[in-house]
């Protein structure tokens, strides 16, 4: 069955992105001139996703509003003949059908996925943690959907990380069945350095079958007092088929301040309209001076 629905988890507290995330949801922070969530929705749409399900929390309506009609703004742009801007805003709403569901408390990624259960129904679906922005061609989620269409089951995105950083990620272990594809035996959230079975870290893209919901219901509260999606996938891997896909593309972590700044710079440098001015500015920097403390 075709993967048509994408669940986007944006209900977290964003504590690593404070103070900005106090009033601006982390995924609404701009990378160049577009909020991060737009890049992730564009990735989904390019991969064939037709329905965007946003899991939001009280206080982050800005994410839903971004994909909705901005009536006053659109009227004003039309009255002033600003056709280009108007077309841009309309294209944004027409990208995909958007549905919002609420997670009432930030109880973890597993709990957030569960809130979308009735909207997902009985079909495979994609999950996006949009604070991971991935610049990839083909889109990262498309690479996962291809693995799902070949092998069935659940698929998680992974990338190699330095061994000394494994305790920051969920780590997978399994046997390779094709280049970059593993059938997983186990997934472990943030293992201590030295105890991780591999250095393959889970990144925020998944393809699930509805089977995942029963496993979310079954698992106990895990790391950080939250219901972790990694624990549910691990439980499922003991009884069913879970694959990892080592995607190609560059992943940026919006939850990390340097990751956020790097994403903004790299994505702006890819834009023909922004690149010349930015390159000029970068060339003007005295890099030797930057080596000394500010
Ligand atoms: P993170 O744990 O990385 O993000 O969750 P966070 O909780 O927002 O941020 P920090 O760690 O406090 O800085 C990954 C993604 O899952 C969503 C987050 O919004 C983020 O996009 N999430 C997390 C939820 O939707 N609900 C939750 O209960 C937890």
Atom number, ligand 1, closest to the C-alpha of residue 255: 13
Cα(224) to ligand 1 centroid in Å equals 12
Q: Which residues line ligand 1 (CB under 6 A)?
A: 9-17, 26, 55, 103, 106-109, 111-112, 129-131, 255
- On the CB side of 222, CA atoms within 13 Å amount to 24
- Structural contact between residues 207 and 154, judged by C-beta atoms closer than 8 angstroms: yes
Structural domains in the chain, CATH included, are 5-269 (3.90.550.10)
Q: How confident is the model at residue 175, as a pLDDT?
A: 96
If one residue of 37, 41, 109 were mutated to test the ligand 1 pocket, choosing by the most ligand atoms within 8 A of its CB, it would be 109
- Buried/exposed 244-267: b ≥16 CB within 10 Å, e otherwise: bbbbebebbbbbeeebbeebbeeb
How far is CA 29 from its chain centroid?
14
The CA distance from 234 to 186, in Å, is 5
Query: At how many degrees (to 10) do helices 257-269 and 275-284 cross?
Result: 120
Report the predicted TM-score, pTM, of the whole model to 2 decimal places.
Answer: 0.94
Q: From the first residue on, what is the mean pLDDT of each consecutive set of 10 residues in the chain (294 residues)?
A: 96 85 89 96 96 92 89 91 89 88 95 97 97 96 98 97 95 96 95 95 98 96 88 96 97 93 96 96 85 71
Cα(45) to ligand 1 centroid in Å equals 22
Q: Is 21 exposed, middle or buried (0-12, 13-18, 19+ CB in 10 A)?
A: buried
* 272 Cβ contact list (under 8 Å, min separation 6): none
If one residue of 7, 10, 11, 12 were mutated to test the ligand 1 pocket, choosing by the most ligand atoms within 8 A of its CB, it would be 12
Nearest-CA residue for ligand 1 atom 18 is 12
Nearest-CA residue for ligand 1 atom 3 is 255
């Amino acid at each position: 069955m075709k993967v048509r629905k994408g669940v986007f988890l944006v209900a977290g507290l964003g504590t690593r992105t404070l103070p900005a995330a106090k009033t601006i949801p982390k995924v609404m922070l701009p990378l160049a001139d577009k909020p991060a969530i737009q890049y992730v929705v564009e990735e989904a749409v390019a991969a064939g996703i037709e329905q965007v399900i946003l899991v939001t929390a009280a206080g982050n309506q800005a994410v839903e509003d971004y994909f909705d009609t901005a009536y006053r703004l659109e009227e004003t742009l039309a009255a002033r003949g600003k056709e280009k801007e108007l077309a841009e805003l309309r294209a944004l709403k027409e990208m995909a059908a958007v549905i919002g569901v609420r997670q009432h408390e930030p109880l973890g990624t597993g709990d957030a996925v569960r809130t979308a259960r009735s909207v997902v129904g009985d079909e495979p679906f994609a999950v996006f943690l949009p604070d991971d922005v991935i610049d990839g061609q083909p889109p990262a989620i498309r690479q996962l959907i291809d693995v799902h269409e070949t092998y069935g089951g659940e698929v998680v995105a992974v990338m190699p990380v330095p061994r000394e950083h494994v305790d920051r990620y969920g780590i997978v272990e399994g046997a390779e069945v094709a280049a970059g594809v593993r059938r997983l035996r186990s997934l472990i959230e943030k293992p201590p350095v030295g105890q991780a079975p591999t250095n393959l870290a889970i990144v925020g893209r998944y393809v699930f079958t509805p089977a995942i919901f029963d496993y979310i219901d079954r698992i106990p509260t895990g790391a950080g007092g939250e219901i972790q999606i990694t624990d549910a996938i691990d439980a499922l891997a003991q009884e069913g088929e879970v694959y990892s896909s080592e995607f190609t593309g560059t992943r940026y972590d919006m939850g990390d301040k340097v990751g956020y700044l790097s994403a903004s710079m790299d994505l702006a440098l890819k834009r023909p309209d922004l690149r010349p001015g930015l390159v000029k500015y970068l060339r003007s920097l005295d890099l030797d001076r930057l080596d000394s403390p500010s």
